[in-house]
Amino acid sequence: MKGRAQGKHHVYSCLAELLQQNWSRLRRVDVRIGPEALYHSSLWKTFLFPAPQLVSFKVVFQGTRPRIFSSQDGFLFAGNAPSLREIGTKNMTFSIQAPWAAQLRQLQLESADFKAYETLEVIKQMPLLEYLSLSHIAGPPPVPLPAEESINIPRLTHLHLTNKLNIALPFVHAIKSSNHCTLIWASPAIDFGIPAQEAIYAIRRVLIRYSNGFFSSQSTPGALRLI
């Protein structure tokens, strides 16, 4: 299912009904949801139902603040999504420390109130990731800086980080990706949360590592882009 829902209350009621009628057999959900849906509970509750066939779940919520699923709500898909491989959300906050986390191949989280240190811990449980994109997640960063290459994700071929330097650095420093991983790293503001000398040393190590991967990989060259 792919589409866009925006407008008055009845629009979201129709979307909720359509999703609920087909939820148990849906394989892909890719929808953009307008800001008026923030308090439309029947729509959001649909995402808490078990999803036995769901492979890909991508939802962009266009609200000015995130739709938060509390601990009382439980996991997305009630923790039951055995076929799930891809999650991509914007302006949604939920627990990713769920039973389906270990099977993910693609994870994209943007503009939501995810905590950096919690997200880093959960990523340790995702060894099959091939694509990881984290944008504008919240602090504080983990202190001290995690050990270099302490999180092994051998299939990761795309790492995209858009965050303040002190938030992004622990991820790019700790994650050990494939040798031909593409790194796209955009830091809109510099705000060191660790000693400057340690940060500079860590950045240097990261740049050397990804540069070596770029030049040594022959069949599938990687890329390094800093913004």
Radius of gyration, CA atoms only, the chain: 19
Rounded average pLDDT over 168-191: 85
Of 20-24, 100-104, 213-217, minimum mean pLDDT range: 213-217
Mean predicted confidence (pLDDT) in 116-124: 91
Per-range mean pLDDT, top range of 27-31, 35-39, 205-209: 27-31
CB atoms within 10 A of CB 144: 10
Q: pTM of the entire structure? A: 0.88
CB atoms within 10 A of CB 121: 14
Q: What is the mean pLDDT of the chain?
A: 87
CB 113 within 8 A of CB 138: yes
pLDDT of residue 120: 92
Q: DSSP characters for 30-87?
A: EEEE-GGGGG-HHHHHHTTS--TT--EEEEEE-SSSPEEPPTTT-SGGGG--TT--EE
More reliable by pLDDT, 82 or 219? 82
Q: Is 89 left (phi over 0), alpha (psi -120 to 50) or beta?
A: beta
Q: What is the pLDDT of residues 104-119, one digit of tens each?
A: 999 999 987 888 888 9
pLDDT value of residue 213? 65
- DSSP strands (E only) in 100-141: 106-110, 131-135
pLDDT at residue 227 is higher than 80: no
Q: Would you call 22 helix, strand, or coil by DSSP?
A: helix
Q: Which residues, including other chains, have CB under 8 Å from residue 208's CB and lie 6 or more apart? A: none
Region of residue 78 (left: phi > 0; alpha: psi -120 to 50; beta: else): left
pLDDT at 195: 53
pLDDT of residue 216: 63
Q: Confidence class of residue 165 from pLDDT cuts 50, 70 and 90?
A: confident
Count of all residues that appear for the chain in the document: 227
